[in-house]
Amino acid sequence: MFRNVKGMADLLPSETEKWQQVERRLERILHSFAYRQIRTPLVEPHELFTHAVGEHTDIVQKEMYTFTDQGDQNLCLRPEATASVLRAYFQHRLDQEAGLQRLYYMGPMYRRERPQKGRLRQFHQLGAEAIGSEDPYIDAEMISILLLIAKSFSLPDLVLEINTLGDAETRKVYRSELQTYLLKHSKAFSEAELTRVHQNPLRVLDSKNPALQDIILEAPMITQALNSKSAKHFDQVQEALQALEVEYVVNPKLVRGLDYYCHTAFELKAEGLGAQSTVGAGGRYDGLGEKFGQGQTPAIGFAMGLERLMLLLEQSWTYAPPRPRIDFFALEEEQKPSVLRLANRLREDQSLITSIRLEVGVLWEAQSVKSALRLAHKQGSRFVVLLGPEEEKKGHITLKDLQKSEQWMIPADQLVQRIKEKI
């Protein structure tokens, strides 16, 4: 027996029906903000991420699925999509188009982490990127997309945390100030943590190690180290959030795991998720364009974990009932061609298929009327159409409404009309 790869889940039909409902709603929300979908490959050059996400991040150091293909190319499964979107943005010269690019994506990401509730090795993200503006109001808009999603699904017990990572100048000054402080406490750090202090001291603020919490609590805060440009940006973001009546908490220890962030960073956390509490997170990445060898390209984005969203929805969301289903059944071999034709006539009716979303099946397997009805009941069919020799002779069919326990013998060409009246 083969089994799925650990941490990479199969989604069976009863699950995918829920996913599809959620995905459709998410897309509608993104469209309402004038975002358009971009689809980039799941496989990218390995270097794209070492370069963009950063050599000293967990993703690049520990979590990437990397391989060499038969042509000796160094490739990987994408661990996130911001770098891919920005690659495509420059490669296809979207920077030459008028105005701001508002892009979203939805799809699987790959990270080799320890699988647990809300943490997989293949997981799915919805993400949005607004590329080409440094306006703090875009930061607030980005955050409000995340919140509108939360509102639309009635997600309970959420906290929005925001912070600023300042501009490059601020971070440079703050980084060394923080490093000096942390090194004074170097005895408390393990060897790995000490390496982090040297390579990426801001990430230490993110540490869950209980022994470090007091040190982190007393550490200098970036919100106190902002230069005037950075402070102004952060003030304006907060003004815009207040105008949008968004409730938030400033968490000066929120640093995010990727190297490319600057200015605004944010996380949406949910009580109901235990240790994997962050549903969605993002931030500004004005410096990433330059890392790609392009001009200054202000941009901001977020990514939301769909598995975590689905977990929250288990507690707060009622899914739409399954679509009504009609099953056709030939009483004898001779009626099979007619049944096939009739079923297709229904499928061709656009209003039945697209607005009512009727599903049309044919039950060849049943041996008798009784067993056909039993099977139809079991799979939750709403209607059954029976065609036997008697009906066929008259050009009629028998239509049964299983929900209402009613039954009619009607001319076959009245079927579409009758179904429309009954649903």
Q: Point out which residues bind ligand ATP (CB under 6 A).
A: 80, 111, 113, 118-120, 123, 125, 257, 276, 278-281, 303, 305, 307-308
Which residue matches tokens 């220890």? 253
CB of 238 to ligand ATP, least distance (A): 22
The amino acid at residue 131 is I
CB of 79 to ligand ATP, least distance (A): 8
CB of 154 to ligand ATP, least distance (A): 18
C-beta closer to ligand ATP: residue 120 or 212: 120
Do 9 and 122 meet the contact criterion of CB atoms below 8 Å apart? yes
Question: Cα separation of 403 and 79, whole Å?
Answer: 47
3-class state of residue 371 by DSSP: helix
C-beta closer to ligand ATP: residue 86 or 279: 279
CB of 305 to ligand ATP, least distance (A): 2
C-beta closer to ligand ATP: residue 80 or 391: 80
What backbone torsions phi and psi does residue 43 show, to the nearest 5 degrees?
A: -105, 135
- C-alpha distances (whole Å) from 52 to each of 42, 57, 260 are 16, 10, 7
CB of 228 to ligand ATP, least distance (A): 29
C-beta closer to ligand ATP: residue 269 or 418: 269
C-beta closer to ligand ATP: residue 279 or 387: 279
Beta bridge partners, 160, equal 268
Which residue from 220, 148, 137 is spatially nearest to 183, judged by alpha carbons? 220
Question: Cα separation of 118 and 184, whole Å?
Answer: 37
Which pairing describes strands 249-250 and 278-284: parallel, antiparallel, or unpaired?
unpaired
C-beta closer to ligand ATP: residue 308 or 325: 308
Task: Give the CA diameter of the chain.
Answer: 95
Question: Which residue of the chain is nearest ligand ATP when measured via CB?
Answer: 305
CB of 308 to ligand ATP, least distance (A): 4
